[in-house]
Structure 1
């Protein structure tokens, strides 16, 4: 039994119907869902971009609203993927017993978890595309290279979905997620260069923050949206991939312990 719990995930194309099932359920409430995920970053962009931007005109020669928008889209992807992998996945696993029903079919738990992670990443990408359209309307990122951020946003969504599934496997109720949002995600936002350059942080904290997945995403996405090319591409991609693979494997172990032992 122990070997079963710790073995590496084994995937098959059977995850696809589960992903499709989640998509069809979401499709019924798609407008409200996308609006909810876009409203918060849009309010932040307008309030801080134009409010604080009237006092802080630019950062390193970049108009502050452009600087903020290119960081906020990364934050929004993180939050959208996290909400889906936490609240929605927990509902399907624990409250609605959807996972239990799926496991009565010829499906493995590995397939279910992969479908959940990919669906959370997909849903976050939908929100990211909507935010990009808002940015285009504001005249931000209007150049062909911006299309390159889409795979980066999907990969970021997958990373935070995997981390969210770890927390989901540990949670006993919805209140547990408050600790994760308050003690992990919120501090990460302020340490990752979303609102201001990480160079403003104390040196030791700035060095520590370079290993955060959100900072890695911001450092990849922001330069592309602003018309440049990111530094340390391999390093930042490696950070995101390590978190994605490591968190998914840990989520698989913890979920097997919870549901299959």
Structure 2
């Protein structure tokens, strides 16, 4: 069993019924869930975009509200995927014992983890689509390039869902997630160019910023929303893929050690 904890995840289509189960449960509170996920980025967009935007008209020739919107959608994807992979997944694993019930069916733990990751990514994209709709109403992102943002948002959601499941495997209670949000996600927002250019940071912080998954997401999404093309697409996708694959593997190993040993 010790060696099997570190084996590569075993993928199968058995994750689909688990994903469907989570979707059916979510449908009962879909409206409240979507509104809750878009409320914070929407408030940020309006308050900072129009409030601070009245003082800071543009950044590098880009209207500030456009600059902010193209970064805040990545932030909202990160937060939505993280909340689902942390609080909701922990509830199903530890409090409601849903995972225990699933494990009594012909399912493997790897199927459950994969379903949780893909469901968290799916839920984050649903929120992202709602935010895109608000952006369109504000006249932001009205380009054909914006269509390419949707698959990118799903990959970004997968990445932060995978990282969230790592924390979920380590958590002993809900309080643990406060540290994850406060010490990891919140600093990442301010280091990833969501609110202002990374070039304003000290050189050593700029170096750290280039290695963060949220920075890579912003580098990919912002040019597309603004009607252009990413300048460093290959390296940014490599960073996101590394965090996604590495995070999912680590989450699988840690969850196996917690539940199977």
TM range (shorter): over 0.9
Given the alignment of the two structures, is residue 196 of structure 1 paired with residue 230 of structure 2, yes or no? no
Instruction: Note the C-alpha offset of 1:204.
Output: 1.2
Equivalent in the alignment of 2:181: 181
**1:44 alignment counterpart:** 44
Q: How many residues align?
A: 261
The structural deviation recorded for 1:207 is 1.3
- TM-score, with length taken from structure 2: 1.00
Query: Helix, strand or coil for the counterpart of 2:36?
Result: helix
Equivalent residue, structure 2, for 1:232: 232
- Deviation track 1:1-59 (CA, whole Å, cap 9, x = no partner) reads 11111100001000000000000000110000000001110000000000000000000
Match of 1:124 in 2: 124
User: So what's the TM-score if we normalise by structure 1?
Assistant: 1.00
For residues 79 and 11 of structure 1, the distance between their equivalents in structure 2, rounded to whole angstroms, comes to 26
Structure 2 counterpart of 1:210: 210
Which residue does 1:94 correspond to in 2? 94
Q: Secondary structure at the match of 1:172?
A: coil
Work out the CA distance in 2 between the residues paired with 1:54 and 1:229. Answer: 27
- Supply the distance in 2 between the matched residues of 1:201 and 1:65 (Cα, whole angstroms): 21
Deviation of residue 63 (structure 1)? 0.2
Q: 4+ residue runs of structure 1 moved beyond 2 angstroms? A: none
Aligned pairs for 1:86-165 (under 5 A) are 86-165=86-165
Say what the alpha-carbon RMSD is for the aligned residues: 0.4
CA distance in structure 1 between the partners assigned to 2:141 and 2:177 by the alignment: 34
1:62 and 1:232 mapped to 2: Cα distance? Answer: 19
For 1:92 and 1:167, locate their aligned partners in 2 and report how far apart those are by CA, in whole Å: 15
Query: Distance between the aligned counterparts of 2:35 and 2:81, measured in 1?
Result: 15
Measured after TM superposition, the shift of residue 79 of structure 1 is 0.0
Q: 2:9 maps to which residue?
A: 9
Distance 1:247 1:208 in 2: 18
Residues 98-132 of structure 1: CA deviation (Å, up to 9, x unaligned): 00000000000000000000000000000000000
**Counterpart secondary structure, 1:2:** coil
Does the 8 Å CA contact 2:144/2:227 hold for their aligned counterparts?
no
**5+ unaligned residues in a row in structure 2: which ranges?**
none
The superposition leaves residues 112-157 of structure 1 with CA deviations (integer Å, 9 ceiling, x where unpaired) of 0000000000000000000000000000000111000001100000
